[in-house]
């Protein structure tokens, strides 16, 4: 994936690097303040070049990456992973957050709590004469 161009729009680069499924999602994240380029708030049309530093947040996760390659197209995930280099601190923090998320207990509702089931609603309707 050698590049003949030197820069690429930030929203398109994030999409090519597969951080977002669509360019629209990457644009919304940038406009929402979830992406910083070289320590500054970014705009979708801002050009990204090699060695730029990008910090982005998605849900509870955060990435700090350095741009290595400017792609010419959106390729498979294995190719997209070669476009950037993630900081070790960023990777460790993200893995720790993933482990904490896995260890959290899932919420299970007991039968009878919460919304009535279809069966319960039919019974209530019979009692009410509907």
pLDDT tens-digit series, residues 116-129: 889 888 988 888 88
**pLDDT the model gives residue 96:** 92
CATH number of the domain where residue 19 is located: 3.10.290.10
Structural domain of 79: 1-90
Q: What is the pTM of this model?
A: 0.75
The answer to whether 84 and 65 have CB atoms below 8 angstroms apart is yes
For residue 17, is it within any domain? yes
Handedness of CA 74, 88, 26, 13 (dihedral sign): negative
Task: Compute and round to an integer the Cα radius of gyration of the chain.
Answer: 22
For residue 12, is it within any domain? yes
For residue 75, is it within any domain? yes
What's the domain count of the chain?
1
pLDDT tens, residue by residue, 86-100: 999 999 999 999 898
pLDDT under 50 in the chain at which residues? none
């Amino acid at each position: 994936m050698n590049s003949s161009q030197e820069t690429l729009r930030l929203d398109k680069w994030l999409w090519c690097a597969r951080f977002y499924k669509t360019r629209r999602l990457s644009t919304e994240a940038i406009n929402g303040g979830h992406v910083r380029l070289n320590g500054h708030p970014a705009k979708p049309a801002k050009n990204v070049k090699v060695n730029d530093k990008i910090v982005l947040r998605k849900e509870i996760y955060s990435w700090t990456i350095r741009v290595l390659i400017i792609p010419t197209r959106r390729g498979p995930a294995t190719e997209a992973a070669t476009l950037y280099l993630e900081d070790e601190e960023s990777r460790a923090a993200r893995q720790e957050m993933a482990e904490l998320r896995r260890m959290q207990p899932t919420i299970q509702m007991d039968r009878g709590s919460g919304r009535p089931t279809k069966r319960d609603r039919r019974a209530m309707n019979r009692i009410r004469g509907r």
